Structure 1
Amino acid sequence: MTAVLRLTEHRPRRGIRLSAPQAALIAASGLVTVAPEPDGLWRVNADREMVGSVRLSAVGESIELVITPKIPVRRLFFLLGYAQGGMHWQREAVDVQRHDDLVPAVAHAFARMCERALGQGVLMGYRTVEESAPVVRGRLRTAEQIRRRYGGLLPAEISYDDHTADIAENRILLAAAHRLMRTPGTEPGTRALLRRVVVRLDGVSALPPGRKLPVWQPSRLNTRIQNPLRLAELVLNSHSYEFGTDHSLRADGLVLRMWQVFEDFVTRALSEALSTGGGRCLLQDRRFHLDHAKTAQLRPDLVYEPPGAGSPAAVVDAKYKRSREAGSHTGDLYQMLAYCTRLGLREGHLVYAAGSGITGGRHHLHGTPGVTVHQHVLDLDSEPEALLAQVSAIAEAI
């Protein structure tokens, strides 16, 4: 029977009894830090800013690791709405209140969203098929016919558009349903709903393992499945992986990088708030380098250019950590100083995920001219409306 180790993000657990192979397996995952304690016990800390549920396995050893986010799952789902390009949970009326762990909530939400979307019928679309056939259908590929058949008439090299359910959108939904059915932490009732999703998608081909996800484009036709599609991409982008060249170590499950979720939320929410005044926001802007040889690239999280300016007026960087008193996070100030110096700005903005108060003060840095770094704090445990109001306040300051 696989042992289960439950942790909470950034809350170390002491006195855990593990075998030496189990401790080595957990340490090798890179999801947590492990340190020995007296009497053969271990201290485990989920301090790598990752949450989720995975089954770690190696030769003759396995353990299930569950890392609960430090913020309520319902708050995390709101942040994910921005991280995945705008999932509208309110429209889906998905109940995640009863789940404390991430994986059961994600699996349940995905199953219910698919049930609602596919209940109106499986989405159909056109797919271009190129094949050799004994009859001519669609368009004859003349160049291929000459190259392969040397002028022969049959079989014909043809191309045609097939109206089918085997399209990119349905392949992504099917792959995510299979993934969540195998993910530790998915509840039996949710697995039953996922099996119904698989049955509805009968005839859709499976995605080859290890390949990139097929590309789909939002349109009027696939509006009803866009939310489950974005959630499916989140699931599949957190798929099973291997550790380096050691193929004996595997982790199967769902893991989210919280720093990435926070960064995506801050940049997207700020972009929406700033867009009301016109101008444009550039995310992960790669136009600037710190040196003349262009070997040291800068990539600020957000650069704001007001209407008609043609040059940056503000720079923002998101930090998934707690703001602290003077003397800490000096590296963040170095980073913002580099951004402001290169972009020719007198002010920069740091946005933290926790701290005292909504605004954390400012730092006046030495130099000619001097640079002022504003420190902002978001309360992630706020209701969505209150959290967006905090973002709007930061946008006003910018």
Structure 2
Amino acid sequence: MTGAPPVRLKEADGWSEWQLTPEQIVALDESEHVKVRPSRRPGWCRIEARDRVGAARVGRGPAQVRLSVAPKVPVDRLLHLLGYAEEEWLHDGGPVDAAPRTDLLPAVARAYTRAAQRALRQGVLLGYRETEASQPVLRGRLRAAAQMSRRPGLALPLEVAYDEHTVDIAENQLLLGAARRLLRVPGVGGRQRVALHALTARLDGVTSPVPGAPPPRWRRNRLNARYHRSLALAELILGGTSYELEDGRAVTVDGVMFQMWRVYEAFLARALGEALTRKAGGWYKTQDRDHFLATPRRYVLRPDLVHYLPAPSGGRRAAVVVDAKYKRGFHRDDLYQMLAYCIRLGLRDGHLVYASGRADVVGVPVAEGEVRLHRHVLDLDQPPHQVKQSIDVLAGLVLSRAAT
């Protein structure tokens, strides 16, 4: 709805006042994209951004509002956190635009269309999909149980199952779904809309994912290697169209809203895990669900990063445990959580990495001695190459604590 009023916020900017109708205020409050409080002025409300950035339409009809939340870090640095700010990807070998991007969603749309165009240069990927159908002739294999239950005593038509060579496969469905989602996002216009429409036209014959349903699942292989970057973007875009509340309810978003704590956790776990592996060998797991607080297999623990080394007696041993915290200040609950990880994994040191605050160490006496809980800070306001250097330094520090 073009007449919907815009509400433009910035992450971590505090409260601001907006003049909206009661219906629009209710729609914003129920969406849980932002925090809403009453104002002393009639017809006004106070609004503060939560932990989500992006753009979405909230409400319907006269209650609709166009909401946009800008990230507190520069857009180019956020794209780096999202994992697709590589120059050859964004600029595709053409002239580099030196002007900083100020709007997140147009930048994401530009990165996605470039990646998708590159993926489709050699044509649309074809694959095999198992199809079940009723046919007048035998094709593939006969589904005997279905034939007898649906058409007892009848020779035709036949219930068959066969592998069809088609463009309607999971990889293309993800590309199409992400393109159509970006076309619905407020603020994406001009050349990007033209490019997105061209992309959807190239994917003719492909089924778009159902909004709110789990995205199609695909597997990396040699045949779809040229799609990998664009698929990573597509999954991120489609993942930003819904999120889960604390009570387990899933909320569908008419737009794209990225949960910054998820972005930060995924970036830090991957980047720090790779740095630890380069320096010390071994391997790492993100969102590791192999450990439980109690036996038998009760209360799963899910640290953001666990780095493993080979055990002297064979198998593996946990060497480092790390949890990422994208929040203001430190919280006691974080310490309790990391203490549980350390005790269960048998580690003397646990590491919490915040996006802001002050670094320190908390020693916790336990029966076997002491567990040291280290609180580190990763400054995201640095340029990407300095963030990488900071992660390398952090990896060295973490490994030195593990050695002692």
* Distance in 2 (alpha carbons) for counterparts of 1:396 and 1:25: 48
Report what 2:189 is aligned to.
187
Q: CA RMSD in A?
A: 2.8
Corresponding residue for residue 84 of structure 1: none
Give the Cα separation in 1 of the matches to 2:349 and 2:187.
46
C-alpha contact 2:79 2:85 (8 A) present in aligned 1? no
Please state how far the C-alpha of 1:73 moved relative to its aligned partner: 1.2
Question: Is the CA contact (8 Å cut-off) linking 1:132 and 1:157 kept in structure 2?
Answer: yes
- Structure 2: gaps spanning 5 or more residues: 399-404
Cα contact 1:6–1:66 (8 A) shared by 2: yes
Deviations 1:65-104 (A, max 9, x none): 10000011111111111xxxxx573342347865322211
Hey, which bits of structure 1, 4+ residues long, moved more than 6 A?
Answer: 241-244
The answer for the alignment partner of 2:373 in structure 1 is: 373
Unaligned runs of 5+ in 1: 82-86
Superposed counterparts of 1:230-379, under 5 Å:
230-239=232-241, 251-276=253-278, 277-291=280-294, 295-308=298-311, 310-323=316-329, 328-355=330-357, 360-368=359-367, 369-379=369-379
Match of 2:387 in 1: 387
Contact residue 286 and residue 306 of structure 2 kept, 8 A: yes
Offset from partner CA, 1:91-125 (integer Å, 9 cap, x none): 42347865322211112222222223223311112
The normalised TM-score by structure 2 is: 0.85
Alpha-carbon distance, 1:189 to partner: 2.1
Write the letter of the residue equivalent to 1:319. K
Superposed CA deviations along residues 174-214 of structure 1, whole A, max 9, x for unmatched, are: 12211111111211321111110111111222333443222
Select 1:90's aligned residue among 73, 87, 90. Answer: 87
Question: What is the identity, as a one-letter code, of the residue corresponding to 1:370?
Answer: E
Contact 2:129 2:169 in 1 (8 A): yes
> What SS does the aligned partner of 1:158 have?
strand
- 3-state SS in 2 of match to 1:267: helix
How big is each residue's C-alpha offset from its partner over 1:224-252, in whole Å with a ceiling of 9 and x where there is no partner?
A: 222111211112222268999xxxx9741
Amino acid of the structure 2 residue aligned with 1:385? H
Q: 1:299-332 CA deviation, whole Å, 9 max, x = no partner?
A: 2222222222533222211110245xxxx53332
Post-superposition Cα deviations, 1:112-144, rounded to whole Å, max 9, x if no partner, equal 222232233111122222222222333344454
Q: Partners in 2 of 1:312 and 1:242 — Cα distance? A: 30
Amino acid at match of 2:371: V
Equivalent pair of 1:112/1:193 in contact (CA under 8 Å)? no
Distance change (3 Å), C-alpha of 1:290 and 1:133: closer
Structure 1 range deviating more: 285-294 or 67-76: 285-294
Q: Which residue of 1 aligns with 2:401?
A: none
One-letter code of the match for 1:302? Answer: L
Code of the aligned partner of 2:326: Y
Residues 5-60 of structure 1: per-residue CA shift (max 9 Å, x gap) = 111001024343233332222222212212233333433211x2111101111463
Tell me the equivalent position of 1:218: 220
- C-alpha contact 1:240 1:251 (8 A) present in aligned 2: yes
The one of 218, 227, 230 equivalent to 1:228 is 230
Structure 1 residues 254 and 341: alpha-carbon distance in aligned structure 2, compared to 1, 3 A threshold:
same
Change (3 A) 1:8 1:147: same
Name the CA shift for 1:183/1:161 in 2 (closer, same or farther; >3 Å).
same
Contact persistence 1:22–1:63 (CA under 8 A): yes
Distance 1:50 1:314 in 2: 29
Contact 1:57/1:250 (8 A) holds in 2:
no
Matching residue's letter, 2:157: P
Asked whether 1:104 is paired with 2:103, we answer no
TM-score normalised by L of structure 1: 0.86
Q: 1:379 to 1:160 in 2, by over 3 A?
A: same
Q: CA deviation at 1:291?
A: 4.4
Q: Number of aligned pairs?
A: 382
**Residue 57 of structure 1 contacts residue 251 of structure 1 at CA under 8 Å; is this kept in 2?**
no
Contact 1:29 1:243 survives alignment (8 Å): no
Answer whether contact 2:310 2:317 (CA < 8 A) is retained. no
Asked if structure 1 preserves the Cα contact closer than 8 Å seen for 2:240 and 2:259, the reply is no
Cα distance between partner residues in 2 of 1:345 and 1:293: 21
Q: 1:139 to 1:367 in 2, by over 3 A?
A: closer
Of 312-321 and 90-99, deviating more is: 90-99
Q: Equivalents in 1 of 2:179, 2:230: separation in Å?
A: 10
* 2:402 match: none
Asked whether the equivalents of residues 280 and 307 of structure 1 are also in contact (C-alpha less than 8 Å), the reply is: no
Over residues 266-287 of structure 1, what are the superposed CA-to-partner deviations in whole Å (9 max), with x where a residue is unaligned? 1111221122222232322334
Q: Percent identity?
A: 44
Shift, 1:389, TM fit: 1.9
> Which stretch shows the higher mean deviation, 140-149 or 178-187?
140-149
Pair 1:144–1:389, CA change in 2 (3 A): same
Change (3 A) 1:240 1:361: closer
Do the aligned partners of 1:128 and 1:161 also contact (CA within 8 Å) in 2? Answer: yes
Cα deviation, 1:358-389, whole Å, max 9, x if unaligned, reads: xx232223444122111211121223222122
Q: 1:70 to 1:158 in 2, by over 3 A?
A: same
